[in-house]
């Protein structure tokens, strides 16, 4: 029921509709952001920040370039932009998790 959350901040029906759409599309993927963020800080403690930084830049690039492509070049609306944001979160969390799984914290890597 995303409209309940968005409704705490506004009563404008168009904002509630957009915010609800965002939470329905992107919300399920916030677990990837949480995973990436937790491993980012753990990597910082391990002194191995290369892959978390790569993942952060990847997330930013996917969001910016993908968002531009789907909205400006392809002419899609907010749901497509929100799908790109969800993909960016998946890229972030997956990149950091795969790097740690592959041994990014081992000495010499």
Q: What is each CA distance from 43 to 19, 48, 56, in whole angstroms?
A: 33, 5, 13
Give domain status of residue 51, yes or no. Answer: yes
Range of the domain at 64: 28-101
Strands (DSSP E) contained in 32-100 are none
pLDDT single digits (tens) 7-23: 889 999 999 999 999 99
pLDDT single digits (tens) 51-108: 999 999 999 999 999 999 999 999 999 999 999 999 999 999 999 999 999 998 886 5
Give domain status of residue 6, yes or no. Answer: no
pTM tops 0.95? no
Q: What is each CA distance from 37 to 26, 28, 97, in whole angstroms?
A: 16, 16, 10
Give domain status of residue 13, yes or no. Answer: no
Give domain status of residue 55, yes or no. Answer: yes
Token pair for 107: 């000495």
Domains held by the chain: number? 1
Q: What is the mean pLDDT of residues 25-52?
A: 96
Place of tokens 């309940």: 4
Give domain status of residue 33, yes or no. Answer: yes
Give domain status of residue 107, yes or no. Answer: no
């Amino acid at each position: 029921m995303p409209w309940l959350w968005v409704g705490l901040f506004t009563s404008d029906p168009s904002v509630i509709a957009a915010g609800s759409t965002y939470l329905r599309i992107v919300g399920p993927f916030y677990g990837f952001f949480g995973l990436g963020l937790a491993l980012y800080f753990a990597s910082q403690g391990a002194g191995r920040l290369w892959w978390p930084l790569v993942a952060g830049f990847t997330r930013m690039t996917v969001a910016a370039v993908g968002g531009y492509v789907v909205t400006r070049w392809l002419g899609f609306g907010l749901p497509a932009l929100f799908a790109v944001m969800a993909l960016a979160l998946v890229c972030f969390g997956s990149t950091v998790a795969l790097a740690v799984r592959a041994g990014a914290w081992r000495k010499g890597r």
